[in-house]
């Protein structure tokens, strides 16, 4: 007999050889019909895998992320079979599940596919799925695997790097594929599929290797869910920050300036400035001091910090000078510079904590194929700060940073988020620097702070920075997509590498602990996500123009300017549209520019000294006094922008 422990802590006893699906059926037949994947003792298993030892079992349905991963991984197999049947001679490579759907990289040889071919692939996939073919895992020897793929150099390369005795295949219908496992019970669960796009992709991400065709798809257990997802994609296209950024005249790119290097237009620069001033005001109240560091640093600086060893390949090439053996790098991060600022003075425990903040622009060489609008760039500005504190101060300082992050999110409308405690991968210690005991203290400090603040958090192994664990905030936007925004890291290692010290109450020399934090992360990425989350309808306090004055004709220009002056005296950002256009056209264009309030001025408004107010979206507030309008604006802002 074996004992199976379920997530609620209950323990069930079964004969050895029981499967996860058998366990599900013992709970409820209805529940079992929805189970599509399982994890036993932390390892993903098939729902028909025999369990022979005591252990912890988690059963997943479509509602679980792990269930979706199994569903989309299995769908990738069905896609591969469809491609193999439709395109004889095509060479399959790899096809994983991704955050939304799956893809398969294929060498189609001389054949090229486009969106005209999508329907045929979808039809073939659904035809295969309706066969309700079981997914079945089996082991194979290395020799057997190499023989099966003797005409596929891509699969052969994968197999050559595997140990004999660890190779497995997954079979369904007439199709077999090299696979480690993690499938739904059968193809019949797949009810709806959509091929989304095709793109070029180098084999194993190496631009020196053959280029393949990456076929992206998504699948669902119900047609209704696919329809909803496609509607969401259409909404996402409307909210694409690259489209909105152009329409709202916020930023642009230039091939002559260089890929991944955004140019901020006047409205975008003003938006950035408001975001910076917003955070600077909160930081000042929290005791931060602003610093400024250069855009370059000597290579040795980043060698000392350990960043060069870890990220040197992703940096721009060193800049040489006329002096022999002197090399500089475009600054890839701000923290080493802040360590050097700390070292300019001798500190006592009475001086700590020291909180240095900077909106520092950094540069990293992203591959051209990975660049994407403002979300993936080569030059970006971080709202960086580093806190140097004593061990006794760590808990309070970390919690204060959590409060700052929550204030930022609340003021910008990001209300749906979870926290992720990112810790080391115990199986890959070489990925990290520093003493294990310090790592353990840092990880526990983050977990304690997150618990004490009542955060809804999960612990993710292997997601820590190379120098320390961190608390990442995962935000869900208006379209239900998850983004990592805001991070707080505890670091014992850089103070050690830079030999940072303070004199303690015992008159002895000690190492400070360093907290890295960036509530925005980077201004570029933050603005991109904010654009897509709000659809360009920013919180009123952040809008470039809060009100536009639309005069019905030129004869009301003088009164329009008077209204403008009164609004500006009340710190309301407004402008006047004096163009000789119809009021209808002015309103339509104002809607496209997403101006929150339109103030219409004609004969009656001028005579009574009032304005007719229309909100973005069409709501008519009628004719009111300017003082009433000022109150509306200030009340609206106060609802969102709370004091820190």
Binding residues: 335, 386, 516
- Considering 470, 533, 586, 614, which one is annotated as catalytic? 470
- Considering 384, 472, 491, 577, which one is annotated as catalytic? 384
Are the CB atoms for 533 and 542 separated by under 8 Å? no
Residue 386 a catalytic site member = yes
- Considering 335, 424, 491, 586, which one is annotated as catalytic? 335
Distance CA 483, CA 475 (A): 5
Residues at the binding site for Zn(2+) are: 335, 386, 516
- Considering 364, 378, 424, 533, which one is annotated as catalytic? 364
- Considering 283, 382, 489, 546, which one is annotated as catalytic? 382
If you search the block for the tokens 């991109």, which residue do you land on? Answer: 528
Residue 364 a catalytic site member = yes
Are the CB atoms for 229 and 221 separated by under 8 Å? no
Distance CA 167, CA 94 (A): 15
Residue positions counted in the chain: 644
Distance CA 258, CA 225 (A): 41
Residue 331 a catalytic site member = no
Q: Name 330's bridge partners.
A: 296
Are the CB atoms for 527 and 578 separated by under 8 Å? no
Tokens encoding 587: 């309103």
Please list, in sequence order, all residues whose beta carbon lies within 8 angstroms of the beta carbon of residue 289, skipping any fewer than 6 positions away.
354, 355, 356, 357
Distance CA 354, CA 538 (A): 34
Q: Name 358's bridge partners.
A: 384
Distance CA 469, CA 394 (A): 14
Q: Are strands 327-330 and 319-320 parallel, antiparallel or unpaired?
A: antiparallel
If you search the block for the tokens 């695997």, which residue do you land on? Answer: 145
- Considering 91, 239, 378, 516, which one is annotated as catalytic? 516
CA-CA-CA-CA torsion sign (539, 543, 545, 550): negative
What stretches of 30-158 adopt beta strand conformation (E)? 35-40, 43-45, 55-61, 91-92, 97-98, 101-107, 136-139
Q: Which helix H or strand E contains 481, and what residues bound it? A: none
How distant, in Å, are the alpha carbons of 62, 173, 190 from that of 72? 10, 17, 9
If you search the block for the tokens 């029981």, which residue do you land on? Answer: 18
Tokens encoding 575: 């402008």
Which of 4, 9, 43 is closest to 25 using CA atoms?
4
- Considering 39, 194, 378, 386, which one is annotated as catalytic? 386
What are phi and psi for residue 313, nearest 5 degrees?
A: -70, -25
For residue 324, give the DSSP letter.
Answer: T
Residue 470 a catalytic site member = yes
How distant, in Å, are the alpha carbons of 380, 384, 482 from that of 355? 22, 11, 30
Q: Which residues form the catalytic set?
A: 335, 364, 382, 384, 386, 470, 516
């Amino acid at each position: 007999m074996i004992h199976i422990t379920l997530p609620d802590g209950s323990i069930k006893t079964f004969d050895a050889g029981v499967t996860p699906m058998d366990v599900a059926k013992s709970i409820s037949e209805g529940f079992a019909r929805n189970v599509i994947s399982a994890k036993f003792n932390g390892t993903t298993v098939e729902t028909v895998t025999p369990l022979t030892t005591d252990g912890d079992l988690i059963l997943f349905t479509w509602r679980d992320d792990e269930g979706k991963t199994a569903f989309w991984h299995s769908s990738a197999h069905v896609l591969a079979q469809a491609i193999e049947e439709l395109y004889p001679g095509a060479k399959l490579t790899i096809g994983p599940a991704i955050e939304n759907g799956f893809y398969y990289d294929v060498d189609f040889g001389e054949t090229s596919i486009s969106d005209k071919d999508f329907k045929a692939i979808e039809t073939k996939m659904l035809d295969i799925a309706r066969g309700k073919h079981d997914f079945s895992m089996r082991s194979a020897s290395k020799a057997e695997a190499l023989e099966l793929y003797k005409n596929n150099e891509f699969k052969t390369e994968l197999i050559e790097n595997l140990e004999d005795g660890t190779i497995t295949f997954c079979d369904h219908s007439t199709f077999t594929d090299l696979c480690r496992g993690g499938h739904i019970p059968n193809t019949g669960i797949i009810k709806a599929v959509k091929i989304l796009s095709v793109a070029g992709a180098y084999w194993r991400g190496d631009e020196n290797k053959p280029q393949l065709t990456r076929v992206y798809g998504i699948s669902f257990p119900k047609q209704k869910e696919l329809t909803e997802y496609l509607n969401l994609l259409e909404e996402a296209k409307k909210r694409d920050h690259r489209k909105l950024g152009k329409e709202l005249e916020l930023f642009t790119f230039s091939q002559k300036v260089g890929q991944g290097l955004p140019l901020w237009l006047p409205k975008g620069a003003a938006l950035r400035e408001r975001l910076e001033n917003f955070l600077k005001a909160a930081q000042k109240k929290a005791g931060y001091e602003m610093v400024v560091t250069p855009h370059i640093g000597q290579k040795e600086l980043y060698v000392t910090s350990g960043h060069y060893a870890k990220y040197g390949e992703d940096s721009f090439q060193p800049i040489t000078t006329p002096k022999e053996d002197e090399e500089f790098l475009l600054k890839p991060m701000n923290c080493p510079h802040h360590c050097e600022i700390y070292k300019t003075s001798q500190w006592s425990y009475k001086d700590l904590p020291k909180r240095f903040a900077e909106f520092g622009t950094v540069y990293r060489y992203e591959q051209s194929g990975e660049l994407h609008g403002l979300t993936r760039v080569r030059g970006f500005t971080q709202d960086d700060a580093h806190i140097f504190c004593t061990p006794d101060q760590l808990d309070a300082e970390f919690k204060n940073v959590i409060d700052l992050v929550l204030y930022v999110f609340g003021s910008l409308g990001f209300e749906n988020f979870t926290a992720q405690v990112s810790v080391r991968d115990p199986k890959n210690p070489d990925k990290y620097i520093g003493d294990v005991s310090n790592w353990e203290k840092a990880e526990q400090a983050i977990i304690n702070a997150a618990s004490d603040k009542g955060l809804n958090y999960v612990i993710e192994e292997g997601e820590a920075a190379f120098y320390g664990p961190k608390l990442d905030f995962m935000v869900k936007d208006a379209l239900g997509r998850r983004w990592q925004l805001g991070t707080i890291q505890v670091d014992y290692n850089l103070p050690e590498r830079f030999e940072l010290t303070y004199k303690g109450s015992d008159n002895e020399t000690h190492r400070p602990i360093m907290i890295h934090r960036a509530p925005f992360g980077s201004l570029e990425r933050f603005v991109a996500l904010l654009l897509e989350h709000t659809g360009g309808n920013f919180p009123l306090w952040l809008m470039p123009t809060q009100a536009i004055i639309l005069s019905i004709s030129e004869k009301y220009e003088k009164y329009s300017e008077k209204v403008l002056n009164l609004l500006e005296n009340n710190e309301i950002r407004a402008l006047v549209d004096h163009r000789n256009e119809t009021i209808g056209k002015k309103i339509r264009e104002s809607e496209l520019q997403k101006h929150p309030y339109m103030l219409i001025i004609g004969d009656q408004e001028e005579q009574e000294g009032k304005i007719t107010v229309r909100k973005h979206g069409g709501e008519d507030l009628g004719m009111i006094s300017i003082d009433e309008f000022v109150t509306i604006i200030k009340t609206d802002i106060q609802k969102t922008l709370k004091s820190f």
